């Protein structure tokens, strides 16, 4: 995403956080002891912040920001969390318009992968803690994994087409974008069970994206992509681990803010159990091997086809 998009999302987050802060403080925040109109000033300030935030959201949407990012930034601000050092990723510069297009498509698919990992981490957490009442359909779980694996191959192909360097790859999906994972974790933690299930099911349909986008350069005889630069994104397994870590960090933050000191040990034990359940020998999310970063021929997925059932 462009730097402008990053700034506008941060602005939305900050305005929502300020609105929450002033709303919680109440009219006494503007009581100067003499004028007696603190409630009016308080209401006017809240209305101004609302207008400013809505204008920023409208500008973001007009500028091509994904609506889901706008919602995530707003909710993160409303929940009172301070802005992360990096809420959006660094977009590598390209003079070549085709490579710029490949990067735009790559970032969209990468965001989808991160969102899927966040949803799966949240779902597994609720299963492990007894807060999930829906049945687990192994066919849907396998399809969800297949769809995420296909996206991994797709991002790998786009990274090659955009001639992504290892340093640029690190800036797109490395440790510096932990803020993105935290945004997803905070958002999904606030979802109701039904909302989370609906969002997860949306990615478990049998209509995955093509593993090899039709617009990347191909060999006319074999149909395989001609760019083979090996800079691959994290595997789905690694993304799930990162999403679970971000969710755990959110739990820890909540425990520190809300729990009594005597409850912190129990909370930590519960968190550890959730993480172990999410990343242990769970057959609902296990690959025999990591995805192969070398894509196969057109229309094929150059990775294994998901979990063994």
The model's confidence at residue 105, banded by pLDDT at 50, 70 and 90, is: confident
pLDDT at 161 over 70: yes
Average pLDDT, the chain: 76
Q: For residue 222, what are the CA distances in angstroms to 142, 219, 265, 299?
A: 30, 6, 59, 11
pLDDT at 17 over 90: no
pLDDT at 86 over 70: no
Q: What local confidence, expressed as pLDDT, does residue 300 receive?
A: 38
pLDDT at 122 over 80: yes
Least confident of 20-34, 85-99, 161-175, 249-263: 249-263
pLDDT at 3 over 80: no
Share of the chain above pLDDT 90, in %: 26
Tell me the average pLDDT across 43-52: 88
Share of the chain above pLDDT 70, in %: 74
């Amino acid at each position: 995403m462009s730097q402008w998009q990053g700034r506008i999302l941060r602005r939305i987050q900050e305005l929502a956080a300020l609105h929450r802060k002033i709303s919680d403080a109440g009219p006494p925040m503007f009581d100067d002891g003499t004028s007696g109109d603190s409630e009016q000033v308080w209401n006017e300030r809240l209305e101004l912040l609302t207008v400013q935030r809505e204008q920023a959201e409208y500008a973001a949407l007009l500028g091509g920001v994904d609506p889901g990012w706008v919602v995530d930034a707003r909710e993160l601000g409303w929940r009172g969390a301070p802005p992360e050092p990096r809420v959006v990723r660094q977009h590598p510069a390209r003079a070549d318009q085709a490579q710029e297009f490949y990067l735009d498509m790559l970032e969209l698919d990468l965001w989808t992968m991160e969102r899927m990992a966040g949803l799966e981490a949240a779902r597994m957490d609720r299963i492990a803690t007894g807060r999930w009442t829906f049945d687990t359909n192994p066919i849907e779980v396998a399809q969800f994994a297949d769809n995420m694996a296909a996206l991994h191959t797709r991002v790998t192909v786009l990274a090659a087409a955009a001639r992504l360097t290892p340093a640029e790859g690190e800036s797109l999906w490395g440790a510096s974008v932990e803020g993105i994972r935290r945004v997803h974790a905070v958002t999904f933690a606030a979802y109701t069970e039904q909302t989370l299930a609906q969002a997860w099911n949306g990615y478990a349909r049998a209509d995955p994206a093509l593993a090899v986008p039709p617009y990347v350069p191909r060999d006319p005889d074999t149909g395989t992509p001609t760019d083979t630069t090996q800079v691959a994104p994290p595997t789905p397994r690694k993304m799930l681990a990162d999403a679970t870590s971000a969710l755990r960090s959110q739990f820890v933050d909540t425990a520190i803010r809300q729990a009594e000191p005597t409850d912190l040990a129990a909370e930590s034990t519960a968190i550890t159990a959730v993480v172990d359940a999410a990343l242990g020998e769970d057959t609902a999310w296990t690959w025999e091997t990591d995805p192969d970063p070398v894509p196969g021929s057109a229309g094929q997925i150059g990775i294994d086809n998901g979990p063994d059932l």
